Structure 1
Amino acid sequence: MSLAYLKTVAFFTSLALTLSLAACESFLDVQPRESVADNQTITDQKSAATALNGVYSALASGGYYGTSFQSIGYLGGDNIQWTGTQSQVQEFINHNVRADNSTISTVWSSIYVTINRANYVISKVPGVTDALLTEALRNQYVGEAYFLRALAYFDLARTFGGVPLVTEPTLTATSNQGLPRASQTETYAQVLRDLEEAELLLPNPSTVTTNDRYRATRKTVWALKARLYLYQGNWALAEDYATRLISDNTNYQLVTPFNAWFANSTRGTRESVFELFYNGTTEVNGHRGQWQPTANGGTRQWAPNEALVSLLTTAPNNAANGRTTLIAAVNGSSWYGNLYYRSPGSDPSYIFRIAELYLIRAEARAQQGKLPAALTDLNAVRVRAGLAASSAATQAAVLLAIENERRLEFALEPHRWFDLARTSRATALFKDPLNNTAPLPASRLVLPIPISQLQVDRALIQNEGY
């Protein structure tokens, strides 16, 4: 970890002590808010709850799902253009990200802050003695922390490849110096270990009377398992875990019309498996300012590119209340993204939607040669978007149809770059930034380790090609 990161941890540890003393609300009555876990503040049920809320707060921060991390998924694909002047942002679009890029430094540090807060909950909550902290509540808190740490390491692995695996609280400035990078395979194995722990600790869905879309549950664990197994090419298990959620059609459904899951300031619909809550005052989602035009109080620094606008505004993708509602235009010409539009910034950040589970299962089934079943899942998503059933007939055609469907279904969500990277399709679609006549090298499917990390810890080794 860098000195800057460790200072950040120390700052928030101090801040948490103040916040935990001031906290008076019941954990079950509040949405996640700013706080942090540490070994001094986790002493009873209330401080344990405050500490766990701090993990969610880090997850929702501007450096993580609040803005910066998601921008990697947007900008690295082929849907979005950058309208500003900062050359470091254009590096993602050009696939020429440098190790001194400020966004990757922010993302790395923000995700490790999330991990460190989760580590404190995992380490300290089991030892707390408080009659109010029942065994069921203790297991729930620790299970949620395991899930959040799993998600954090999953995001690090798919962005940077292998990373240092820190599973104990950071206590001093030198606690983690000299810790070597794990491989990407080893990092994904850590993700799975954490998910297995979370699944054991979180309540059985059959015993839960409500379906929480803002906090980790056993169903959220299944969603991440499905995504993890898809990335690893374990098609049978990806299909299995996706099916667990799709089959729960009491709680999860493809809502209609398409924009019913985000339009009209709605939140927490049956479309949602896991989304992050922002209240627009003390918890602000920074996406709106990046997407909305100046006429709406934004900067429109991210915008749909010509290719995406063309796809979404021409038949068959321009069905009323369909995916074309993801974008809008000022004076009919200046197009902008309209998924994040609430003022102030209280839009949710969407981490899992049931549509993704349908498309995960479709891809997993196609990879296993189950083409009719794959098409059934693909077409469920297409019909909801106002489209006719796919005419794909061969395995290759079905897989390409699923890829193209994911491109539009998640046009303004951070999937496109990671989809193209995990399948290595990016090497066919993009050019080598150093040689425009050659394909993008496979080494560019992960980003460089931030130079700020390499400078303070000689045990870290830079990714190949950077």
Structure 2
Amino acid sequence: MKNSRYILSLSLLLLISSCESFLDVQPRSSISDEQTIVDRSSAETAIRGVYAALRGHYSTSFQSIGYLSGDNIQWTGSQSQVQEFINHRVNAENSTVSGVWNSIFVTLNRANHVLDKVPSITDPLLTESLKNQIVGEAYFIRALCYFDLARTWGGAPILTRPTLSPNDNRGVARSTQAEAYEQSLRDLDAAELLLPETTNRFRATRKTVWALKARYFLYRSNWAKAEEFASKIIADAANYRLNKPYNSFFANDARGTQESVFELYYSINETNGHRGQWQPQQNGGTRQWAPNDALVALLNNPEIGGTRSTLVARDNQNRWYGNLYYRSPATDPTFVIRIAELYLIRSEARAQLAKLPEALADLNAVRDRAGLAASPASTQNEVLLAIENERRVEFALEPHRWFDLVRTGRAGAVLSISDPNRYLMPVPAEQILIDPILQQNPSY
């Protein structure tokens, strides 16, 4: 069925031992959840299925909303529905919006299966600590899903039980945006209590929860909490740091560096669609996403981009292309949270709290890593604008820019959007046809 909330199965995935190979999985078959999640082996299989769905969620479509709706990226293809994001005139029939909504609810449903079944499993091989880890990871991923739903659509149906029949979860109205964010926080709180305080860049731990909480509280304008949780990660200097040079976290096939807090693992069994979108034809890609002239100028300005100019390169037709995703085969990780984001979260929170010297120290740590001099900003407004501009360049090819401008109330001025209702995406038209209780966002 089109409505992904009615997905009834989990993928059986290959069982492998190491952390990376835990996530390097290949679909085998699909059978009923009631048959699969009954012991340690099937519980581990199920949580692999949740990560697999999350990789689908973060592969291209969701991130393209963040890329194309901002002011860094141009679309070089011909599909009018993609241009809708750049024009900020997205229609409810847009297939990208529909695909993202569906993929998020697939991930949510898989997480809900784990949360429903794993706590009650009795298997001597499923120790309490392992059970807590699996359940905690499912809570974290569900929290990330509701966070993304809240910032992309506003309200969303709050579904905390798995879909077991076609009629399950019908008639569930959309929450408010605040309620969707609150569900995300509840899940983060639950995950924090269950997960170990270890360092793992590919699977959720308590530290991953802290990092997402820092982002969450920044979006919710809780500056003290954003500072507190960002500081928890930054203080762990033995495990997280700003690596020099800038491109050391992604160049030369790097993955899982100290720069990374949480990244998604892809392999030859499950490749990352980003590479094909960014790379030019000479490298086997389509270059349908490309840095626009304004971004190229910023990155190549030695006083703004610094060493971040390595994010772009020229093809054999002298056209600029993005080079964050470049591997062949396309096993590039997707960088969900980097330590640079935690520095800039804390910098912004401190600036909002009028702690300007401390805010500048965090901002300048990121600038120093890029080979730049300290920021000349001095007033609160100047520091906040400097942070906004730094985030634009630091995460030039990561999907932060659109969401940053929306959450700070700057999208109208920067992107010339006259209708603030357009800061949220439309609920897919097909979803409203399937379940009329889902109300459309204003202006769509």
Q: Do they fold alike, i.e. is TM over 0.5?
A: yes
Give 2:21's aligned amino acid. V
- Report the CA distance between 1:29 and its aligned residue: 7.2
Give 1:219's aligned amino acid. K
Q: Secondary structure at the match of 1:81?
A: strand
Give the TM-score normalised by structure 2.
0.96
Task: Give the match for residue 430 of structure 2.
Answer: 452
- Report the CA distance between 1:38 and its aligned residue: 2.2
Q: 1:377-408 CA distances to partner (integer Å, 9 max, x unpaired)?
A: 00000000011100101100000000000000
Task: Give the match for residue 112 of structure 1.
Answer: 105
Give 2:93's aligned amino acid. D
Q: Is the 8 A contact 1:365 1:374 kept in 2?
A: yes
Task: Give the match for residue 67 of structure 1.
Answer: 60
Identity of aligned pairs, percent? 61
Q: Is the counterpart of residue 301 in structure 1 residue 295 in structure 2?
A: no
Task: Give the match for residue 215 of structure 1.
Answer: 203
Give 1:418's aligned amino acid. F
- Report the CA distance between 1:429 and its aligned residue: 1.4
Task: Give the match for residue 35 of structure 2.
Answer: 40
Q: Which runs of 5+ in 1 are unaligned?
A: 433-439
Q: Is the 8 A contact 1:38 1:117 kept in 2?
A: no
Out of 2, 11, 30, the position equivalent to 2:21 is 30
Q: Is the 8 A contact 1:34 1:54 kept in 2?
A: no
Give 1:465's aligned amino acid. S
Q: Is the counterpart of residue 416 in structure 1 residue 394 in structure 2?
A: no
Out of 232, 235, 238, the position equivalent to 1:244 is 232
Q: 1:17-72 CA distances to partner (integer Å, 9 max, x unpaired)?
A: xx36xx453476733235678232001101000000000000001xx111100111
Q: Distance in 2 between matches of 1:192 and 1:317?
A: 35
Task: Give the match for residue 2 of structure 2.
Answer: 4
Q: 1:301-450 to 2 correspondence within 5 Å?
A: 301-317=288-304, 319=306, 322-331=307-316, 333-432=318-417, 440-450=418-428
C-alpha change, 1:29 and 1:232, in structure 2 (3 Å) is closer
Q: Is the 8 A contact 2:5 2:169 kept in 1?
A: no
Q: 1:101-131 CA distances to partner (integer Å, 9 max, x unpaired)?
A: 0000000000000000000111100111111
Q: Distance in 1 between matches of 2:263 and 2:320?
A: 26
Task: Give the match for residue 436 of structure 1.
Answer: none
C-alpha change, 1:264 and 1:176, in structure 2 (3 Å) is same
Q: Secondary structure at the match of 1:65?
A: helix
Q: Secondary structure at the match of 1:376?
A: helix
- Report the CA distance between 1:133 and its aligned residue: 0.1
Q: Is the counterpart of residue 270 in structure 1 residue 258 in structure 2?
A: yes
Please say which of residues 324-333 and 451-460 is displaced more in the overlay.
Answer: 324-333
Task: Give the match for residue 435 of structure 1.
Answer: none
Give 2:243's aligned amino acid. V
Q: Distance in 2 between matches of 1:313 and 1:28?
A: 37
Task: Give the match for residue 270 of structure 2.
Answer: 283
Q: Distance in 1 between matches of 2:139 and 2:305?
A: 41
Q: Secondary structure at the match of 2:33?
A: coil
Q: Cα RMSD over matched residues? A: 1.5
Please say which of residues 37-46 and 407-416 is displaced more in the overlay.
Answer: 37-46
C-alpha change, 1:305 and 1:24, in structure 2 (3 Å) is closer
- Report the CA distance between 1:283 and its aligned residue: 1.1
Task: Give the match for residue 259 of structure 1.
Answer: 247
Q: Is the counterpart of residue 232 in structure 1 residue 220 in structure 2?
A: yes
Q: Secondary structure at the match of 1:48?
A: helix
Q: Distance in 2 between matches of 1:77 and 1:398?
A: 21
Task: Give the match for residue 177 of structure 1.
Answer: 170
Q: 1:141-161 CA distances to partner (integer Å, 9 max, x unpaired)?
A: 000000000001101110000
Q: Which runs of 5+ in 2 are unaligned?
A: none
Give the TM-score normalised by structure 1.
0.92
Q: Secondary structure at the match of 1:336?
A: strand
Runs of 4+ in 1 over 6 A off after TM superposition: none
- Report the CA distance between 1:299 and its aligned residue: 0.2
- Report the CA distance between 1:282 and its aligned residue: 1.0
- Report the CA distance between 1:8 and its aligned residue: 7.1
Please say which of residues 38-47 and 238-247 is displaced more in the overlay.
Answer: 38-47
Q: Distance in 1 between matches of 2:303 and 2:278?
A: 25
Q: Secondary structure at the match of 2:263?
A: strand
Give 2:286's aligned amino acid. T
Please say which of residues 37-46 and 397-406 is displaced more in the overlay.
Answer: 37-46
Q: Distance in 1 between matches of 2:108 and 2:420?
A: 28
Give 1:398's aligned amino acid. V
Q: 1:82-161 to 2 correspondence within 5 Å?
A: 82-161=75-154
Task: Give the match for residue 56 of structure 1.
Answer: 51
The number of aligned residues is: 440
- Report the CA distance between 1:301 and its aligned residue: 0.2
Q: Distance in 1 between matches of 2:246 and 2:58?
A: 23
Q: Distance in 2 between matches of 1:28 and 1:395?
A: 43
Q: Distance in 1 between matches of 2:209 and 2:348?
A: 20
C-alpha change, 1:7 and 1:175, in structure 2 (3 Å) is closer
